[in-house]
Amino acid sequence: MRQPVEIRIHDAHIGIWQDNAQDPSFRREVYGGLIRQMRDRGWSIRSEPGVRHRHRILSPDHRLGARGTLRCAIRVSGRVVEVDFWAVTWPICNSNGRRHDFDRMQRMRHIDRLRVELEFRRFITWLETLATAKVRRSAERDMAPIERIEKDYAESWHRDKVLGRPTWSSDSQRKSQDGSLLVHGQTVWLPDRKGRVVRGAAYYNLNNMWWVVAGGQLLNEGSHSLFTAPPSDLRIKRNDRARRSRLEKELALAAGRMDFQRAHTLKMILFGGEPTFMIWARDHNAYYRSQYAGYTTDRISAGKYTREEAEAECKRVPHELEMVCPDGAHIRFDRRAA
């Protein structure tokens, strides 16, 4: 039997911990064994392209998995093996992708939640055959939002000893969408996932992120997405980003099946008569997808941008990005191309 392990489960995350960080068998038996178990259950496991490209020496410690609509990231580091699950079924609202969303279990379809729970149980059953296993599951899902915030404050390393909670280090971390400075505990307004404006109470979290208790839910939002006063017309849905992503997806589908009349109509709705550009990421050897979220090697599925949008993004990271013109020409903005 191996030395005891502790299994920590929170939302769609599971961590397998042991005390000895210098144990070479931990990587082989637990990390490698877990990957083999998942492959036997039909998961497709491969290396993580971003890590392999930028930090090749770390690539063996990072893996991505896919099965149906579920995705996972597997990582070993010292004395812990971690697995994060997410699904490809909910709308993208985090510019870094669904993998980095909060409350991923809540966002999943019911069938995907059951599948993730089944994976957790299989991990536990398998680990109990290797070592004495202690399971700790976060009870946050059964806690009221304000209790979850208080628990987070109590466990935070960034807690101010006087205030008993973290606090901002500059006004930029509490500047709202309408230009005002947020105050801990104040009433705010923000668009929900469907673009409808809801009201809630904001509590400081970390950096420019704020906890918002709204409609019995706990949200984690950037200060730039919050309003300190009701927006002018509460009946208007503020879902421009989701709307554009959906229209671009429909445009790609129409172009893929060579329905050029519909593709032209959708392009006119999106961009009018303005020419469209794409963004090529040299570090990923792929195009940006719609709304700067994700990558693809397929030109049809690539995100479409106005010249102003594409140029601004490429100039922001000129050593990695190129602007792709309608005629296919690539334009670079780094010093080497000057």
Which pLDDT score is estimated for 102? 80
Claim to verify: residue 79 and residue 16 sit in the same structural domain: yes
Q: What is the pLDDT of residue 139?
A: 63
Task: Specify the higher pLDDT residue, 242 or 123.
Answer: 123
- Do 111 and 61 reside in the same domain of the chain? yes
DSSP string, 43-67: -EEEE-HHHHHH-GGGGGGEEEEEE
| Residue 235 domain-assigned (yes or no) | no
Task: Name the domain boundary from 197, 225, 253.
Answer: 225
In this prediction, residue 142 carries a pLDDT of 67
Confidence band for 8, pLDDT divided at 50, 70 and 90: very high
Query: DSSP characters for 188-248?
Result: EEEE-TTS-EEEEEEEEEETTEEEEEETTEEEEEEGGG-BSS--S-TTS---HHHHHHHHH
Q: Tell me: do 184 and 303 sit in the same domain.
A: no
Assigned domain for 245 exists: yes
The pLDDT of residue 336 is 53
User: Would residue 82 count as lying in a domain?
Assistant: yes
In a domain, 184, yes or no: yes
User: What pLDDT is attached to residue 140?
Assistant: 63
Q: Quick one: 286 and 213 in the same domain?
A: no
Give the domain CATH number at 195. 2.30.30
The residue with tokens 């984690």 is 220
Mean pLDDT of 276-282: 95
Residue-wise pLDDT for 285-316, tens only, equals 899 999 888 888 989 999 999 999 999 999 99
259 with 168, same domain? no
What's the pLDDT at 331?
Answer: 94
Question: Which amino acid is located at 274 in the chain?
Answer: E
User: Above pLDDT 90, what percent of the chain?
Assistant: 63
Domain housing 285 = 240-337
pLDDT at 337 > cutoff 50: no
Tokens (6 digits) for 137: 């599951």
Rounded mean pLDDT of 62-71?
A: 96
Are 92 and 184 in a shared domain? no
Based on the fold, state whether residues 58 and 106 are members of the same structural domain. yes
Residue finishing a domain among 141, 156, 172 = 141
Q: 262 or 157: whose pLDDT is higher? A: 262
123 shares its domain with 159: no
Across the range 47-75, mean pLDDT stands at 93
Residues 161 and 126 in one domain: no
The chain-wide mean pLDDT, for the chain, equals 90
Q: Give the pLDDT mean for 121-142.
A: 87
Query: Is the same domain home to 62 and 104?
Result: yes
Would you say residue 8 lies in a domain?
Answer: yes
Least confident of 12-16, 59-63, 193-197, 228-232: 193-197
Q: Is residue 231 part of a domain?
A: no
State whether 302 and 193 are in the same domain.
no
Looking at the 3D structure of the chain, how many domains does it have?
A: 3
CB-CB contact of 80 with 13 (8 Å): no
Domain boundary among 201, 225, 249: 225
